[in-house]
Amino acid sequence: MRKARIAVLVSGGGTNLEALFKAQEAGKIPHGEIVVVLSSVAGAYALERARNHGVPGFAVPRKGSTQEAFEAGLTDKLCAYQADMIVLAGFLSILSEDFVKRWPDRILNVHPSLIPAFCGKGYYGLKVHEVALARGVKVTGATVHLVNEIPDGGRILLQKAVEIQPGDTPEVLQRRVMEQAEWILLPEAAEIVAKKLASD
């Protein structure tokens, strides 16, 4: 059976990447295989995680590079490893519309809220959880969506709600959203897209 070749793009520690590796090793992404990890930040721990799982990892630094040069570097690696699809797993660099258009229905992104709540410019990482707590909402969660259109973000694939508990800090809430939503949804969504690509 042909497997879709998955590239994972990261910017930091790689906890979502680790969840993908564990899901793959548990047989939960049977139609896909992670073949390369690319980091927009040199020295990101996610690259060490890739090495620990025997997958090539490369830094394609965004800092000090033009958008065109940065995306050309990403494209070179994606083509070299014949990637069929891209998973943005804590990837904090903005991709241009031209780049996104080259990968229709093939770029997945995870966002730590129930879109359309707490998303858009400036809403990433801990900031999302800080705002959710400040607004006093009782439920938050995570969303995995296909990145097809800019700026609206594309089509939602999966969402999962997570309850906010009394006394939550942004850090505690962030961890719960990762454990109860992101780390579950991202492998499920990767398998949905990989299965479609593998059967095409």
Residues contacting 91, CB < 8 A, separation 6+: 9, 10, 11, 40, 109
Calpha distance 167→190 (Å, rounded): 33
Burial class of 193 by CB neighbour count within 10 A (0 to 12, 13 to 18, 19+):
buried
- Residue 175 · residue 167 · CB < 8 Å: no
Q: Check if 145 is active-site.
A: no
Catalytic residue among 31, 53, 111, 129: 111
Six-digit token pair at 32?
Answer: 């896909």
Tell me which residues are annotated as active site: 111
